[in-house]
Chains A and B, each alone.
Chain A
């Protein structure tokens, strides 16, 4: 199995952890780390590849390109959805820049 996911950075203070959870996608606040979850599900030989730099580049690209087409996007998405999405992206970009959020590629095999 292989998957890409966004996760809260390790070793954060409680305040930083709350900020990361607020800025990240809805289910970013996993109770256990992904390695532990994979092991519990019977997977082993787990490899994690950090792709956070690419994640920041993608979030910034969404922000910039969506801003440059703001009028057209508001017309097709509606104001509320457009603003929600842009606010999400701003929050994520800020959290990545402050090392609160990361993105990883996990690879695991059935143990």
Chain B
């Protein structure tokens, strides 16, 4: 049963992730330097910082919690060769993430609709966890 905050996230961000138009894509490229449907405050430079800190290698397993449309987890997977599972509550975001996984050929990565409170993974399933603007 989702909490009131989770229902708010599903409605608020679901509405945003449904909007995929040339003008929003142009804005995202200009502001964040990305093309993942991101609309927050984590630009490409900060995704590169995450990559430096995580030092992931091919075959490592990364969990990105609250990934929206897959940013930055899918980018990190493309750059490092790691396998990523991106999770979030709004279905439209995870739908776009699945399309991106398919388009980028990230065959060992996946997108899962899930609350961060009860992640459906066994302990020790991942080598690293990342999240951007989930705790704020």
Q: Residue B121 at the A interface, CB < 8 A?
A: no
The 8 A CB mask of B108-136 against A (1 = contact, 0 = none) is 00000000000000000000111111111
Flag if B53 contacts A105 (CB, 8 Å).
Answer: yes
Query: Of residues B8, B43, B53, B136, which shows the largest number of chain A Cβ atoms within 10 Å of its Cβ?
Result: B136
Q: Residue A9 at the B interface, CB < 8 A?
A: no
Flag if B30 contacts A4 (CB, 8 Å).
Answer: no
Query: How far is it, in angstroms, between the C-alpha of A55 and the C-alpha of B26 when the chains are bound?
Result: 20
Flag if B23 contacts A105 (CB, 8 Å).
Answer: no
B31 contacts across to A, CB distance below 8 A: 58, 61-62, 65
Query: How far is it, in angstroms, between the C-alpha of A27 and the C-alpha of B4 when the chains are bound?
Result: 13
Flag if B46 contacts A51 (CB, 8 Å).
Answer: yes
Flag if B45 contacts A1 (CB, 8 Å).
Answer: no
What DSSP secondary structure best describes chain A's contact surface? mixed
Chain A nearest Cβ from B57, distance in angstroms: 16
Flag if A49 contacts B129 (CB, 8 Å).
Answer: no
A59 contacts across to B, CB distance below 8 A: 41
A46 contacts across to B, CB distance below 8 A: none
Task: Report which B residues bind A (CB closer than 8 A).
Answer: 5, 8, 15-16, 19, 21, 23-24, 26-27, 30-32, 41-43, 45-46, 49-50, 53-54, 128-136
Known: A49-B49, A77-B19, A105-B49. A6 touches B41 (CB 8 A): yes
Chain B nearest Cβ from A85, distance in angstroms: 8
Query: How far is it, in angstroms, between the C-alpha of A103 and the C-alpha of B132 when the chains are bound?
Result: 11
Flag if A4 contacts B42 (CB, 8 Å).
Answer: yes
Chain A nearest Cβ from B130, distance in angstroms: 6
Flag if B53 contacts A3 (CB, 8 Å).
Answer: no
B135 contacts across to A, CB distance below 8 A: 3, 5, 27, 30, 34
Q: Which residue on A lies nearest to B31, using beta carbons?
A: A61
Chain A nearest Cβ from B132, distance in angstroms: 4
Flag if A69 contacts B21 (CB, 8 Å).
Answer: no
Known: A27-B135, A73-B23, A76-B19. A55 touches B41 (CB 8 A): yes
Query: Of residues A3, A49, A62, A72, which shows the largest number of chain B Cβ atoms within 10 Å of its Cβ?
Result: A3
Flag if B128 contacts A103 (CB, 8 Å).
Answer: no
A26 contacts across to B, CB distance below 8 A: 5, 8, 136
